[in-house]
Each structure stands twice: as structure tokens, then as C-alpha cells.
Amino acid sequence: MKLEAITYQPIGMVHTPHKTPQGAPIQPTGARGAVGRAVLKPELAPGLKDLAGFSHVILLYHCHLAGQANLEVKPFLDAEPHGVFATRAPARPNALGLSVVRLKGVEDNVLLLEDVDLLDGTPLLDIKPYVPDFDQPPGPVKTGWLAGRAADAGTAKGDQRFE
């Protein structure tokens, strides 16, 4: 399979209270109230026009502290190994992270964020408005090995395993 490499230029950086993976929230559910800022390159500020009308944004970012990917990982919420694509582990073939966070305001090239689980200094690749009509599937959802465990992300904390 011939596929060309794809290069992105970060659009900015995210600043949060979570300085290290150890002790950091593993999902936004474990980061309620945590305040952060996304600072875009100043020249991209016009791209934020009208974003302030949305209460939540999807951040796509590079997990810059993630170590080498393994195809099977023991995630934070289970003692059993799973395929990396069946987990949200940051150390993955492409270390892309995704978080739905609360947007409290937009000031020039800066987003004021809440419920932020990102690590401080994370390079930001994209911002999308969160739209339930687009982003929530209709009908029932099955969550495989995470059924009955996902809620634990509200209290679970990260450690060094994916550095």
C-alpha cells in the first residue's frame, strides 16, 4: 500500500495546568473545571470568527510526550492488553489526540477553555466546532471492553506508561 506522508504545521499551542502525564486526567471527564488556553498563531485569528457562539470545541492535537507506539497496549482503564486502535492511549502509530472541551470565550487569537485534559505545551493541529448533529451517532452505542469502565475516567490519573 503506497501512501504519502502528510505534514502539518501546528496552528498554535495549548496551555494547561497538567505539566506531566503522571497525575494528569486521562479524559475531559476527569478534568472538569480545569482551565486552559489555546494560543493560535496571531495571523490565524480571523479563522476564529463566529466560534464564540459554540459552547464546545473539538481539539485535534499532537500528543507530544507520547513514546513509541505499540500495537497492543495496556490502557489506563484495564489490566488486559488491547489493540491500540481499540484504546485512546496517546502512544499510537500517529500520536493524534482528540478532546471535546468547553469553550468559555475567544479573545483575538486565544481560546479560553475549560474541562481540559491536554498536557501543557501540546501542539494544536485543528479546532472544530462540536455539533451534536454531526458528532453523536443516532441509536444505541456499544463500547466493547470499555463498557462499565469508561466512567472510571472521571477519577483515573495518568502515569508514565506511554512516555
Smallest gap, in angstroms, from Cβ of residue 9 to a copy of itself? 5
Spatial distance between the Cα atoms of 15 and 116, rounded to a whole number of angstroms: 9
* Residue 58 in the binding site for a copy of itself (CB under 8 A): yes
Binding to a copy of itself in span 88-117, by CB under 8 A: 88, 92-94, 96, 98, 100, 102, 115
Work out the number of other CB atoms within 10 angstroms of the CB of residue 87: 20
Is 156 a binder of a copy of itself (CB under 8 A)?
A: no
Among 19, 20, 23, 44, binds a copy of itself (CB under 8 A): 44
Pairing of strands 72-73, 122-129: unpaired
Instruction: Name the minimum Å distance from CB 46 to a copy of itself.
Output: 4
Cell of 116: 481540559
